[in-house]
Amino acid sequence: MEALTLTTPALLFSAISLIMLAYTNRFLAYAAVIRNLSEKYKERKEESLIRQINNLKLRLNLTRWMQIFGISSLLLCVLTMFLIYIDQHILAVWIFGIALLLLILSLAFLIREIQISTQALGHHLSDMEAYLKK
Q: pLDDT, tens digit, for every residue of 24-65?
A: 888 888 888 888 887 877 787 777 777 788 888 899 999 999
Nearest to 40 by CA among 48, 32, 31, 49: 49
Residue 81 belongs to a domain = yes
Residue 1 belongs to a domain = no
Q: What is the pLDDT of residues 63-103, one digit of tens each?
A: 999 999 999 999 999 999 999 999 999 999 999 999 999 99
Residue 11 belongs to a domain = yes
Nearest to 77 by CA among 94, 99, 103, 93: 99
Amino acid at 28: L
pTM of the model: 0.79
To the nearest 10°, the Cα dihedral for 38, 42, 48, 50? 60
Range of the domain at 85: 7-133
Count how many domains the chain has: 1
Query: Alpha carbon 110 to chain centroid distance?
Result: 5
Name every residue whose Cβ is closer than 8 Å to that of residue 123 and which is 6 or more positions away in sequence.
Answer: 51
Residue 2 belongs to a domain = no
